[in-house]
Every structure is written in C-alpha cells, then in structure tokens.
Structure 1
C-alpha cells in the first residue's frame, strides 16, 4: 500500500485492523486484532505526523524518544520523564534493553559495533550499496525468562537511490494505534538526520511489520480517530524540515539543554533564539520547556505558545487542552506517550 504521508496512512491502517482482522488472539493475555506481513510506503517520509485531534498525539514525547535514540542511552531517567508508563517494561527498574534502540545504533550495548558511523561510511563509499543496515533485535533477548522488553524492531535499512535517501523499517510486531505513531516518527527522523549528514534529500520510507495489531482496549479510541473529520481530510500543515547539513552539533547542544530542563537546573529565556540554534531545534527546545512547565504546574505564556510553529502549537493544545495564556496550567494526570 502506498501513501503520500503518514497522515494518509494512519487512518487507513486503523480501519483495516478494525474491519478486516485476519486473526483474533491474545498473546500474553492481551486480546487483539491482527494482520500478518503488512507493508506500506510513504512517498514523503519527512511528513511523519497524523494531524487528527482525536488522537491527541504527544509531539513532545515523539521528539524526546528520537533524541533518546540519538543519545545512545538506555536509561529510564531520560525517557520515563516523558512517558512514565514505560517503566513497566524495565526488568531492573533503571534501564531498558529491547526498547533502547540507541544502544544498537551507537554501540552502547556490550560487544556490539557502533552501527551509525558504519552506515554513513558505507553509503559514502558506495552509494548503490544494499548493506547500510542497522540491526536492532538480538536473538538472546528471547532467552531471558519473562523478558518484559523484547525489541519490536528487527532493524533499519537505508538506501541511496536516484540521489535521495530512502528508508525501510523492519518490525517483528507493531501496535497500530500507539506504537506505530512513535516508530514511524522516530525512524523517519533518523532517516532525515542521516540524509542531512550525507547531504542528500529525504526519499520514501517503507514500514514492514510481521504482526500489526490493535489491542482491544484501544478499539474505542481508534473508532474516535476514524470518526474525526480531520482523519479524512488533507494534512493542514507540512512538518518542518531539519536544517541542511550535519545536524549533530545541534543535537548535542539540544541534549545538554534538555537534561538541564528535565532536572530543573534551567528554564528557557524569554527569547529562546538567544541559544544560537537554528529555528528548527529552537522549536524543539521550546516544546521541552512547555512540557516542563506543564509538569510543574507553571504558567505557559502566550509568547511561548506563539513562538511555536502552528503545527506544534495545535498538537500541544490538543494534547493538553488546559494550556492557555490566561492561567497557570494544571498538570494532567499523565504526560505519557
């Protein structure tokens, strides 16, 4: 199945799982509808968000997860700040093994190579190569009794074709309502990072899934998404593009500032542009600052909201409706993904 953007693909995949499941099963007691061997292609890989108010997408978590991967970290301190429920998947209460894809990307896992630089080198030396592959799933994950965190992602492949960087994500399993939105965001984000590093345009993205499923508790929520008129209209915005050139210096600076915000050691100045980052990354920092204020019941000003790209502002207001310029923001019950 081919789609222009993820905004077009998302409601289609939800409807397919609801109306035409191939199987009904309950692995580990979790009842679900399921399709096997699913593949879809996004012509515009960088358009990675479904603009559907009923979905209440957490754009802050999306950026946090992608940056957590780029940081090569596996600790809960970072990612659980943005998604507290992810702690349920940690065997030791302090780190994640399967879900921490950054360990595979950058060699933080014991005895594994640093795969990202190898992919960059492979594509620079041979633009026609089919070997630019990052392996994520490890067979030994299945040997751990009761492992709560087995990688859903098998691997990622990047291919330079006709001057553009294309991506393929290989999933052993994917939750169509929740997990797929996060995974498509993160994997196409990595694809765009790599394309900028190589100095080429972003091409298409293919998402391949062994088991695509919709858990029964999310069935009603999926129907709400499909009932939203926005799910069947053209996307109202274009997702912002990363700056041209190598973005790694900006990512490293954002990670430093994110940690200071998360640990309460810093808050953004009234003029976030004073940090000297390109507007794209300044917007990401502003999202983290607004999230910090929401968590700590601090005032979110109209100036802060107005600084955001209209796309981000709308997603923030849909996720946290209490965010207004006229009153202090009361933290919601959960800020998880």
Structure 2
C-alpha cells in the first residue's frame, strides 16, 4: 500500500484518510486502535519535514528529540525537557531508572562513521543502521519502533529509507520523519550529495482511538501552505551540528552559550527555535518578538507568532 506526497502534511492527510476509511480495529497493549499492515510512504521533498498546521506543528519537540538522538544520549532528562511524559510512554520505569533501554542515540552514534564511509562508495547497498536488536526482545519497559535506516547514494543524491515495526500515525510519525530526514540531509552534506527521496515503510500503521477526534479535526482544517526548511549549508555539517548540540545543552541546563560568530545562519536559526520554548514558558513576548526578528529565514515565523499570541 503506497502513499506519496511532496510534503509531510500531504502524507499525514492521506494516511489519516486511509486509516479512517479502511483501518481494521486492534487492541494492542497501548489501547485500542485502527490499523493497516504494510504501508509505504514516499516523501518527495524531505525538507518539507514538519506540519504547517497548529495542532500537528510539533516543530520544537521534534527538533529537541532529533538533537537528543544526535547527541548519542540515552538519558530521560534531556528528552523530557521537550516531551513531558516520555517516561510514561516508555512504560513508566521507576524513578531510579535514569536512561531509556530503547534510546536511539547510542545506537546511531556507534554506527555513524561506518555509514559516512559507506555513502561515499558509489551505489553501495551496505549503508544500513540497525536500530532494533535481538536483545530488545528482553527489554523490560520499551522496544524501538524503528528497525533499520538505510541510505542509498545514487546519481549525486542520497535517498533514505526507514523500516518501522510500528508507527503511531497521529502522534509518532511527525517526530520520526522529521528526525530521519534531518539525518538524511546531514549525511548527504557530509558526502557532498544532494538530498533525494525519503521512504518510510511501516509494519503496523495505526491510529489510536483516543486520537481519532483530533485526526478528524486536522483533516477539516484544509491543506496548509508548502514551506520547506531551508537547505542545510553545503560542506561538512559537523561543526555546525556540534555547535547546535552545545547550544541545546547550554539552554537546557542554564550554562554559558557557545560563541556563534563563525556559525552559519542556518544553525543559528535552529538554536533560536530552541530558545522559543524557554521564552514561551516565561511568557516573554518581548523576547519572542526578538527571536522572530532575529531569524535569517521566514520559514518559522508563523510558529513563533503563534507562541507570541499564546504568551
């Protein structure tokens, strides 16, 4: 079963419509849902990786989770800063359990150098990151939803594919596609390749009953404008990413921020998005306006304006 779209919102609308029309009822451990088995989504423009709608525009938490992956961390505190209740989603481990047994970060970090080497080889079929492991069958609290990520350098572009054992279409898919296409673009830039197509294959493609009304409201809002993220700067992104990870940690724990004088505006804008969360919590409308005016791109203006209105 194939679903194609230019933007994430295209995929989400088609996915929800298909599930509501043809989904079969199931009762897994995480409450009742409707499901389709064996779905393949194709995102033609991976930079159009986030929803432009108010109720599914999870830009800040998706960016926070992506940086958690890329930092290599498995600790709960950094991700719960962006997604409250993350531990509960993982099966509510006791308070003395400080790290997630299913975290992607350490698994990605241990394989990144191999992947970077592989995608420099023409037409390789070995650029595979394994997320799900046999040992996960014994996990006490959580199991990764992602099985593998595969990358295909072909004719000057890097295509990517995720294979998921399970995907919550309304809540989880927005974060997954954002994170995996960001990784795709980071790897493409590291090998001087363009960004190709992103493919998202799912075993259990489902919508929980508790989210059905929200999904119907999303579909009634109409089709949003197509405004993708700006292209990542050409050249090796390692310096910019390292600076952004340092900035994220500084903002989260209240440390001195790293110097930004030699950092490309692309990375500075992402750091400003991270600041929005703090300013929103403090109801600092002046600070939020300053963030909006300091942006080098207008891609995120609508989201920041929404936060100003809420503040």
8 Å contact kept, 1:8–1:50 = no
Q: 2:108 aligns with which of 105, 119, 124?
A: 105
Could you tell me how far apart the structure 1 residues matched to 2:148 and 2:288 are?
A: 42
Q: Is the deviation greater in 298-307 or in 9-18?
A: 298-307
8 Å contact kept, 1:65–1:79 = yes
- 2:34 maps to which residue? 33
Change (3 A) 1:205 1:29: closer
Q: 1:94 aligns with which of 87, 93, 98?
A: 98
Q: 2:247 aligns with which of 246, 249, 257?
A: 257
Report whether the alignment pairs 1:118 with 2:114: yes
Structure 2: state its 5+ residue gaps: none
What is the CA-CA distance between 1:301 and the residue it aligns to?
Answer: 4.0
Could you tell me how far apart the structure 1 residues matched to 2:125 and 2:112 are?
A: 15
What is the CA-CA distance between 1:267 and the residue it aligns to?
Answer: 6.8
Change (3 A) 1:222 1:69: same
- 2:127 maps to which residue? 132
CA deviation vs aligned residue, 1:108-164 (integer Å, no higher than 9, x gap): xxxxxx21111111222x2111110000001221223xx331100001000011110
Structure 1: state its 5+ residue gaps: 107-113, 324-328, 330-337
User: TM-score under structure 2 normalisation?
Assistant: 0.91
Could you tell me how far apart the structure 2 residues matched to 1:290 and 1:301 are?
A: 6
8 Å contact kept, 2:280–2:288 = no
What is the CA-CA distance between 1:266 and the residue it aligns to?
Answer: 4.2
- 2:191 maps to which residue? 198
CA deviation vs aligned residue, 1:7-41 (integer Å, no higher than 9, x gap): 211111011111111x2011015010100000011
For the aligned residue pairs, the C-alpha RMSD in angstroms reads: 1.9
Aligned residues: 303
8 Å contact kept, 1:2–1:43 = yes
What is the CA-CA distance between 1:103 and the residue it aligns to?
Answer: 1.1
Give the 4+ runs in structure 1 shifted more than 4 A.
Answer: none
8 Å contact kept, 1:169–1:207 = yes
8 Å contact kept, 1:58–1:315 = no
User: TM-score under structure 1 normalisation?
Assistant: 0.85
Report whether the alignment pairs 1:142 with 2:137: yes
What is the CA-CA distance between 1:297 and the residue it aligns to?
Answer: 4.0
Could you tell me how far apart the structure 2 residues matched to 1:117 and 1:289 are?
A: 30
- 1:287 maps to which residue? 273
Could you tell me how far apart the structure 2 residues matched to 1:152 and 1:169 are?
A: 10
- 1:82 maps to which residue? 82
- 2:172 maps to which residue? 179
CA deviation vs aligned residue, 1:191-246 (integer Å, no higher than 9, x gap): 000000000100001000000100011111101110002x2x5x342321111111
8 Å contact kept, 1:53–1:228 = no
Could you tell me how far apart the structure 1 residues matched to 2:51 and 2:276 are?
A: 21
Could you tell me how far apart the structure 2 residues matched to 1:264 and 1:6 are?
A: 33
Could you tell me how far apart the structure 1 residues matched to 2:270 and 2:116 are?
A: 25
- 1:161 maps to which residue? 154
- 1:248 maps to which residue? 238
Could you tell me how far apart the structure 2 residues matched to 1:241 and 1:313 are?
A: 17
